[in-house]
Amino acid sequence: MARYDYDLLTIGAGSGGVRASRMAAQFGARVAICEEGRVGGTCVIRGCVPKKLLVYGAHYADDFKDATGYGWSATAPPFDWDTLITNKNREIDRLNKVYIRILGENGGKSLSARARLIDPHTVEIGDRSVTAANILVATGSWPVMPDIPGIEHAITSNEALELSSLPQRMVIVGGGYIAVEFAGIFNSLGVDVAEVMRADTILRGFDEDMRVTLADEMIKRGVDLRCHSVVHSIEKTESGAFNLLLAHGELIETDLIMCATGRAPNIKGLGLEEAGVEINDKGAVGVDGSSRTSVPHIFAVGDVTGRFNLTPVAITEGAEVARILFSNNPSVVDYSNIPTAVFSQPPLACVGLTETDARAGNAHVDVYLSHFKPMKFTLSGRDENSVVKLVVDGNSDRVLGCHIVGMDAPEIIQGFAVALKAGATKAQFDATIGIHPSGAEEFVTMREKRPPQTARKAADYPFPGRPTGGSNSVFTKENPDEDHPP
């Protein structure tokens, strides 16, 4: 008789947990996965999938406008938010059922209740307890709200995906990728959007040229970027609107407030510390390079570890845990050169090092920068620019980073992520024949280095800290300079 009920018990049925459970079952393990909500996790239920569907919906506003330049007498029809949300929900329901079917077809058992560790091998699930030789924690992350008076009036990205109707005015608090993406969605759908952030401009941690370029494009689209601003309090007015008091005494009146000020590992009430699992100083589950916690038979993957909050990373980690436990062919997850995309409008994508990070570790860095108007907009007349950037090790000629803001950026960067993973050099980029005309060809046609200089910061530019909108682009072909060649 088996000592434990299961060989592997997974807590959390998101992308990482499902991948680990499915593969473990395929390897012949007795597997169960516990989920108190819907199967699919953050990405499928309340994250990247529904958000991307809303991004697609928002893009039609641009498409109708651009069509006239190509001979189409396009008049944008009335937009129906309820239809978009209903259809989005239908797709999420379908994916939820697909995940459940995949688990069942591979022999995994689904347990629908909240889980809590009682001891290192025992998990309380609802009103019963089960035991497992190995436990995987894959409970993801959850939005964090700032501790300010009136915060109960604000929503998070979770609720933003389920709004019953669109507001006329909206304030988004935060400057990270979630805030930027939702600002683009709601702005394109006709909402008057202001984005309030503490930082000098959006997307702290991304390459400075990309941050500034995207901020400029958002401002041109009408998003009101309020940088160097902190919300002190929120107050509901008699009319049902809300007043936000900013640090410098300014008041903003709005109809809806969304906070996108970060996410934290979703570990409250799981009993991890009681089972001996160490929580690190960031409030995440501490793990080693094999996703193993301080308890050797308890593993953790995905957002709950605070390493890389990206669905493909969680999936890769989950697969590796299954191999470590039940296969004779374990590998090591390589966290270098992970591509990233921000589904903003226009989108941003990158892989590898920023210029700032490259200079911090290498005294000789070459930078190549191309700024251009996408061909599609030559007839439509849209005032939108793209920027492509390469960061190169000047000694070895190896490409350290690829960055792009503009049309199809996420689709373009995926292939270049393979090139960086393979250690491609600038000479190999140059020897590659481009596809013309395309935006992607810019990566293999740049020949002129940007003049030597220290890495710049967003604060060096004239517009990121302005409290109001409007265009003040230094990236224009009509006004080139040494630092921003056309």
* Alpha helices (runs of H) in 266-310, residue ranges in sequence order: none
Q: How far apart are CA 212 and CA 219, in angstroms?
A: 11
Residue 329 gets which letter from DSSP?
-
Buried b (16+ CB within 10 A) or exposed e, 314-332: bbbbbbbbbbbbbbeeeee
Q: Please give the helix or strand (H or E) that residue 111 lies within, else none.
A: strand 109-111
Q: How far apart are CA 318 and CA 68, in angstroms?
A: 48
ω before 374 within 30° of 0 (cis)?
Answer: no
| β-strand partners of 9 | 32, 135
Q: How far apart are CA 317 and CA 323, in angstroms?
A: 10
In the chain, the amino acid numbered 103 is: L
Phi, psi of 93 (to 5 degrees): -60, -40
Q: How far apart are CA 270 and CA 123, in angstroms?
A: 9
Strand stretches in 28-80, DSSP E: 31-34
Name the catalytic one among 232, 403, 436, 484.
436
Beta carbons within 8 Å of 344's beta carbon, 6+ residues apart? 177, 180, 181, 183, 184, 214, 218
Question: How far is the CA of 324 from the CAs of 28, 32, 133, 289, 333, in angstroms?
Answer: 14, 17, 14, 12, 11
- 153 catalytically annotated: no
Q: Please give the helix or strand (H or E) that residue 141 lies within, else none.
A: strand 141-143
Catalytic residues: 436
